[in-house]
Amino acid sequence: MIERTPILNAVTHTILGVGLLVMCFPLVIAFVAATLPYEAVIDVPMTLIPGGQLLENAVKAWERGEFATQGVNSVIMTLGILFGKIACASLTAFAICYFNFRFRMLAFWLIFITLMLPLEVRIVPTYEVAGNALLPLQQLLDVLWLTDLVAWLSGVEIALEWNLLDTYWGLTLPLFASATATFLFRQFFLTIPEELAEAAKMDGAGPLRFFFQILLPLSKTNIAALSVIMFVFGWNQYLWPLLITTDPEMRTLVMGLENLIPSEDELPEWNVAMAGTLMVMLPPIVVVLVLQRWFVRGLLGGEK
C-alpha cells in the first residue's frame, strides 16, 4: 500500500519499536550478564553496561557444560532430523503426487491429520516404541499367532528387539515424520507442469531417476527453506532428548544448559550460564541469517 499517513506511520513504528524492545530485552540482559564478572552479576539491580569477561565466562561454560561432547551430539541430532525429515517428506510427497494408487487420498489425509499430533501429544506411546522399535511388528506377529506357530514348529521363540534408548537413532528417528514438510513438498510438486513428468517418461527415465534428476534439483529452494525451519526445530529439541537419553554422553547442548543453571547450594554464577546460553543460541541464528534469502524465496515459491 502506498499512502501518505504520517500519524499512522508513527503509530505503526511505535508498535514495531515496542515489539522489538520486548523481544530483544531478554537477549540484551543475557548478553550483558554473559560479559560481567561474578561480583557484578549478583548485584541488584544488575547493571546494563557490558563488562569485559565474555571470553572467560564462555570458556568456563564450555568446560562446565561439557559442550564438546554435547555439541557433537547436538549437531548429529539436528542434521539427522534435518536429512531424515527432508528425505521422508520428499519421498512421501512424491508418492502422493505422482502415483495413482488405491487410498491415495486417504494416505494424504492421514498424513495431514498428524499435523494436529505433535510429539508432545504422542510422547508416551512413542517412548514405548523407542524402547523397542520392533515392538509393533512383534505385536502384529503375536496377534496373528505367528509367534506361537513358529515356536511350535521350530522351537524358536520370536522376540524382536531394537532398543533406541540412548542412541542417535533414538534421538532422530521418531522425529523423521513431518506433515508440514510433506505438505510443503506436495504443494510444490503440484506446481510442476505435468509435461515434465511425461517428457521424462518419453525420454526413458524411471520414477526414481525422475525424482532424483528432475524433481529434487527443481526443489532446491524449497529444500533450503525447509532446512532452515527444520534446523531450528531440531536444534531446539528438549523434551524428547531429555526423555530418551540417560547416558550423559548422549546429552545435547540444549539439555546441557540445565547443568549450567546454578542450583541452591552453588554459587549463582549467572554470568557463566548466560555465556553458555549465548553459545547454544548461536548456530540457529547463523543458519537463519545465512539462508534467509533462500528461506523467503522458497516459501514464496519463486524461481529467481
Partner 1 sequence: MANVSMRQVRKSFGATEVIHGIDIEIGDGEFAVIVGPSGCGKSTLLRMIAGLEAVTAGEVAIGDRVVNDLEPKERDVAMVFQNYGLYPHMTAFQNISYALRIARRSKAEIRERVERVARILGIEDLLARKPSQLSGGQRQRVAMGRAIIREPDVFLFDEPLSNLDAKLRSQMRVEIKRLHDELKATSIFVTHDQVEAMTMADRLVVMNQGVIEQTGTPRQVYRRPGSTYVAGFIGAPAMNLLPATLSDDGAAVEGRGMGRIALPNGAGPDRSGRRVMLGVRPEHLAVVADGSGGLLAARLLYAEDLGASRLLHCAVGEDELIVHTQDETGDRPGDTLRLAADPANLHLFDAESGRRLEAVDGG
Q: Which CB, 4 or 304, lies closer to partner 1?
A: 304
Tell me if 227 sits within 8 A of 161, measured CB to CB.
no
Position 142 contacts partner 1 (CB under 8 A): no
**Chain-centroid distance, C-alpha 91:** 18
Tell me if 49 sits within 8 A of 32, measured CB to CB.
yes
Tell me if 275 sits within 8 A of 60, measured CB to CB.
yes
Site map (CB under 8 A) of partner 1, residues 148-187, x = contact = ----------------------------------------
Judged by CB under 8 A, the residue of 11, 196, 239, 286 near partner 1 is: 196
Site map (CB under 8 A) of partner 1, residues 202-231, x = contact = xxxx---x----x--xx-------------
CB of 97 to partner 1, least distance (A): 16
Q: Which CB, 1 or 202, lies closer to partner 1?
A: 202
Closest CA to 302 of 225, 230, 228, 231: 225
Q: Which CB, 216 or 288, lies closer to partner 1?
A: 216
DSSP state of 5: -
Q: Which CB, 266 or 303, lies closer to partner 1?
A: 303
Position 198 contacts partner 1 (CB under 8 A): yes
CB under 8 Å to 180, separation ≥6 — which residues? 115, 229
CB of 29 to partner 1, least distance (A): 47
DSSP state of 44: S
Position 302 contacts partner 1 (CB under 8 A): no
In DSSP notation, 48-69 reads: -S--S-HHHHHHHHHHHTTHHH
